[in-house]
Amino acid sequence: MKLTFPDHFMWGSAASATQTEGASQQFGKGKNIWDRWFELEPERFHNRVGPEHTSQFYQNMKEDIPRLVATGHNSFRTSISWSRLYPEGTGDINPQAVDFYNAMIDALIENGITPIINLFHFDMPLAMQDIGGFENEQVAHHFARYAASSFRLFGDRVKYWFTFNEPIVHVEGGYLYNFHYPNRVDPQAAVRVAFNTLYASALAIEQYRAQEQDGKIGIVLNLTPSYPRSQHPADLRAAEIADLFFNRSFLDPAVKGTFPPELLTLLEKHNLMPSGLGQACAVIQRNTVDFLGVNYYHPRRVCARHSLPNPEAPFTPEYYFDNYTMPGSRINEDKNWEIYEKGLYDIALNIRDNYGNTPWMVSENGFGVKDERNRIVNGELNDDYRIQFYRDHLFWLHKGIAEGSHCFGYHVWTFIDNWSWSNAYRNRYGLISLDLQTGSRLVKKSGHWFKALHDNNGFDY
């Protein structure tokens, strides 16, 4: 069958400043938490490759943007580096950053590509982290001032903004599971950081609307549908609670302006509720998003716990459930992630039915492969596995759109193989392969396929 997508559908990819720009402390940029963590613990990064070893988009931008056209982009999401624009997180603006981002935005538009700009992609300025990061409510106000400056500087041309990318990740990684700096296991801090992140997002939205610009502003959430092992009440309950913590904790306040009452009850039960939230809650309630970005890679499968939780251990949501591997599921062994395309359809209907059919886009969807450059033969990289991954997800996305879900775009992760946090270059995701030694770029078979997808606004399935 031929699958055709709505007119003016956004095709493209997503990236982030820290993962692509390079020039970690050049051209006026201040340090962020990734620069600091790599200095402290380089052994925790794959092959000891740190954030200075990226695809060097800062220096190669003029050559890379035409490559976006060649791989079927009519839109592109990246982020502004807070610590590049404001080296100390506040204070004076770095004029070299303004010049770079102006040049980038102008070049995108000149090449027929709609810029979509995100303000925070895990990259807290070190000066802000040194005063507590989002544990400190004042940092939320510094973020709002940075956002307001970005809108003022670039909003005449940028009409699609995101405040945060996957905000639950810096909560989990930094304060629950120890895979992001500051590498703490502190559930009370985690809740405070989550709340102040939502507050910061709402303050930024408030600043955007105060400037009366004519674009739209939203937030990117990594939604992972929570599927129960069975229809047994205990498994169903486990899935409900997993959904509360990992999806609805950010989705409900972002779209509806309110927190799920049951989530607040659970936090109170564990003495995790922050105090003095009234004014901030009012700001969150008033400043809901215009649209959503949804990053989808894999589902979450859960079941009732097999043993009683340890009441003395630091709290995590797994107090209420066990993670579960479904027999017969397909797994990307390089990431240990389940491949379940229908999850995208379930997300589409959930947004349609439970969140007012808010406009949304797939802001990331991708397939990471270890040692992928070993697959280059005669100057070609035939990544048919990635094309099949896209095709199958787009089939289910198309079905969701046909049934009324208001999705207006599909972005893959990512454009050029990029540095990926502590995983560095362990897994490759790009439409274009990067040679780390020479910096040369090679369009993969998926990049050519994506160009045809864009040109036809669909594909034969």
Classify 370 as helix, strand or coil.
strand
Catalytic residue, chosen from 166, 172, 318, 341, is: 166
How far apart CA 24 and CA 5 sit, in angstroms, is 39
> What is the maximum alpha-carbon separation in the chain?
63
| Cα dihedral value 275, 277, 279, 280, nearest 10 | 140
Residue 161 pairs with which residues in a beta bridge? 117, 217
Residue pointed to by tokens 């969701």? 400
**At 419, phi and psi to the nearest 5?**
-65, 135
Instruction: State the DSSP string of 142-191.
Output: HHHHHHHHHHHHHTTT--EEEEEESHHHHHHHHHTSSSSTT----HHHHH
How far apart CA 61 and CA 104 sit, in angstroms, is 7
Write the single-letter amino acid at 269: K
Residues 241 and 317 sit within 8 Å (Cβ to Cβ): yes
Catalytic residue, chosen from 21, 172, 341, 364, is: 364
Residues 297 and 222 sit within 8 Å (Cβ to Cβ): yes
When computed from its CA atoms, the radius of gyration of the chain, rounded to whole angstroms, is 21
Q: Decide if 312 is catalytic.
A: no
The shares of helix, strand and coil residues in the chain, as percent rounded to the nearest 5, are 45, 15, 40
Nearest in space to 184 (alpha carbons), one of 196, 194, 192, 176: 176
Write the single-letter amino acid at 367: F
**At 370, phi and psi to the nearest 5?**
-80, 140
Q: Decide if 206 is catalytic.
A: no
- Give me the active site residues, please: 166, 364
